[in-house]
C-alpha cells in the first residue's frame, strides 16, 4: 500500500469492520488532520463537537522530550475535541532510570506534561494516561516484555491515574518470544493479568503480539483471545446469589446420594 494513502486505508478498515474505538494516524500533522476529517464524514461535524469518536496514540521521546509528532497530534486531535493517548515509552536503564520506581516517576512527569498541554489546546479535551514501561536485556539492549518490573508498574500507574481522575491505557499480552511457545505464554499471561487487575480502560496489543511487537502471530492471536475470555470471568468476580450458593443441594437429607 503506498505510504501516501496507507493511513487512510488503515482508518477506513477500522471504521468499516470494527465496533472498537478508532485510532487515527499521528505520524504527521497532515495525516492526523485526514483522520479527523474522516471521522467528521462518518459521524458529522456537530456530533464531533460533543462526542469523542477517534483517538490519537503517541509516545513521548523519553527521557523528558516531547517532539513535533506528539505536540502536533495533541493540537489536531484535542483541538477538534477528540482524544489523545500519551504513553511514555521508558526503557529502564536506557531511556530512564534503571529502577522501576524512578522510571515510573519519569513517565508520570512526561505524561502530566502532555496532559497539561492538551488542556491548554482545548480545556476538557479527552486525555488518556498510558503506561508502557519496559525492562531491557543488558546484553543486547533489546526491550524485554512480561518481566516483573513492568508488570508491577501497571499496578502503580493505575493507582496514579485514578488519583488524577484519568483513564488508563496499558499494554496487553506482551512477550519477547518469536513464536507461540511456553515463553510467550507465561510472559503474555503475566503482562495481561497485571493490565486487567490495574483497571486498564484502554488496552492495546491484547492478542497476537510476538517478538517485542515486531510481528503478529495468528496462532497466538487465537490463544490470547481465549485467555481474554478467562480474564473477563476473573474481572466479573464471584457471584454470591442463591443459585451460586446452591442452597437446593444443601437441603437434601443426610446420607442422600447426589450426582453433581
Tens of pLDDT, residue by residue over 221-241, are 999 999 999 999 999 999 998
Within a domain: residue 254? no
Classified as helix, coil or strand, 196 is helix
Residue 53 forms part of a structural domain = yes
pLDDT of residue 256: 60
Instruction: Report the Cα–Cα distance between both ends of the chain, in Å, rounded.
Output: 57
Q: Is residue 125 part of a domain?
A: yes
Show the cell assigned to 141: 539492549
Q: How far is CA 236 from CA 71, 153, 203, 205, 240, in A?
A: 38, 23, 17, 21, 12
> Residue ranges of the alpha helices (H) in the chain?
3-17, 29-43, 45-50, 68-79, 100-121, 148-164, 182-197, 218-236, 242-245, 247-250
pLDDT at position 119 is 98
179 pLDDT above the threshold of 90: yes
Instruction: Give the domain CATH number at 20.
Output: 3.20.20.480
| Residue 66 forms part of a structural domain | yes
CA distance 207 to 215: 12
Taking residues 46-61, report their average pLDDT: 94
In a domain, 133, yes or no: yes
pLDDT at 80 over 80: yes
What are the cell numbers at 243? Answer: 443459585
pLDDT band at 143 (very low <50, low <70, confident <90, very high): confident
Query: Average pLDDT in the 113-124 region?
Result: 97
Instruction: State mean pLDDT over 123-134.
Output: 96
Strands 83-86, 54-58: pairing kind: parallel
pTM of the model: 0.90
Three-state SS for 128? Answer: strand
Res 163 pLDDT > 90: yes
Nearest-5° angle of CA 241, CA 228, CA 148?
A: 105
Give the structural domain span for 12. 3-237
Number of domains making up the chain: 1
Please compute the mean of the pLDDT values over residues 90-97 and round it to a whole number: 90
Burial status of residue 26 (CB atoms within 10 A of its CB: 0-12, 13-18, 19 or more): buried
* pLDDT band, residue 86 (cuts 50/70/90): very high
Per the domain annotation, does 128 fall within a domain? yes
Residues 175, 146 contacting (CB under 8 angstroms): yes
Model pLDDT, residue 243: 86
Q: How far is CA 238 from the centre of its chain?
A: 26
Residue carrying the nine cell digits 468499516: 16
**Residue 202: what are its φ and ψ, rounded to 5°?**
-140, 115
CB 73 within 8 A of CB 86: no
Whether pLDDT at 172 is above 80? yes
Q: Does residue 257 lie in a domain region?
A: no
Has residue 211 got a pLDDT over 90?
A: yes
Amino acid at each position: 500500500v503506498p505510504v501516501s494513502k496507507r493511513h487512510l486505508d488503515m482508518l477506513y478498515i477500522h471504521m468499516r469492520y470494527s465496533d472498537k474505538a478508532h485510532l487515527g494516524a499521528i505520524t504527521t500533522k497532515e495525516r492526523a488532520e485526514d483522520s479527523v476529517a474522516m471521522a467528521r464524514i462518518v459521524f458529522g461535524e456537530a456530533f464531533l463537537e460533543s462526542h469523542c469518536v477517534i483517538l490519537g496514540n503517541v509516545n513521548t521521546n523519553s527521557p523528558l522530550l516531547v517532539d513535533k509528532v506528539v505536540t502536533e497530534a495533541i493540537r489536531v486531535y484535542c483541538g477538534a475535541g477528540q482524544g489523545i493517548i500519551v504513553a511514555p515509552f521508558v526503557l529502564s536503564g536506557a531511556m530512564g532510570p534503571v529502577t522501576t520506581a524512578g522510571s515510573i516517576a519519569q513517565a508520570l512527569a512526561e505524561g502530566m506534561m502532555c496532559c497539561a498541554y492538551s488542556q491548554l489546546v482545548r480545556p476538557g479535551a479527552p486525555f488518556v494516561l498510558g503506561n508502557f514501561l519496559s525492562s531491557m536485556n543488558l546484553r543486547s539492549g533489546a526491550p524485554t516484555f512480561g518481566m516483573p518490573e513492568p508488570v508491577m508498574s501497571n499496578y502503580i500507574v493505575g493507582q496514579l491515574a485514578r488519583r488524577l481522575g484519568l483513564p488508563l491505557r496499558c499494554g496487553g499480552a506482551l512477550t519477547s518470544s518469536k513464536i507461540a511457545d511456553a515463553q510467550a505464554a507465561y510472559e503474555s499471561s503475566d503482562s495481561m493479568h497485571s493490565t486487567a487487575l490495574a483497571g486498564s480502560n484502554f488496552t492495546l496489543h491484547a492478542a497476537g503480539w510476538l517478538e517485542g511487537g515486531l510481528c503478529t502471530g495468528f496462532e497466538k492471536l487465537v490463544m490470547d483471545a481465549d485467555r481474554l475470555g478467562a480474564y473477563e470471568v476473573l474481572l466479573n468476580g464471584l457471584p454470591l446469589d442463591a443459585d451460586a450458593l446452591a442452597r437446593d443441594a444443601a437441603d437434601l437429607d443426610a446420607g442422600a446420594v447426589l450426582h453433581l
